[in-house]
Amino acid sequence: MAYLTKNAAKELLRQSAFSGIPGEMFADIIPGGCSDYSLAISTGRRAGEPIARESGVTLFADPAKVELFKSIEINYQESLAGGGFYLTGDTINVCACGNCFSFK
């Protein structure tokens, strides 16, 4: 399972409440970005399987991609220029942007 930090969960909960589906978000690993893959997060659960729960929000992913999220930590950081999700983990090499990565 993936790990959501409290900051990431707070932002996901805010986004899910704004979209009308409180507490449910969907994460996807898609090809591209400044590395091999990037993280895309959208509202709802779709036909997903839960991969992380924290502070009232559940993050879902495509059942075929659940193993890819293993040991990945999803965090959120705000700055004067805006905010964004970024990744860390033992199974990935993260690009400087923090959102794009390749698998080790």
Residues with Cβ within 8 Å of residue 37, at least 6 apart in sequence: 29, 30, 31, 100, 101, 102, 103
| Residue-level pLDDT at 103 | 95
CATH number of the domain to which 12 belongs? 2.60.300.12
Output the tens digit of pLDDT for each of the chain's 104 residues. 899 999 999 999 999 998 878 999 999 999 998 999 999 999 999 889 999 999 999 999 999 999 999 999 999 999 888 889 999 999 999 998 888 999 99
Q: Token pair for residue 16? A: 């899910």
| Residue-level pLDDT at 30 | 95
* Number of structural domains found in the chain: 1
Distances (CA, A) of 104 to 42, 71, 93: 26, 12, 6
- Identify the domain containing residue 43 by its residue range: 3-103
43 touches 21 (CB < 8 A):
yes
| Residue-level pLDDT at 21 | 87
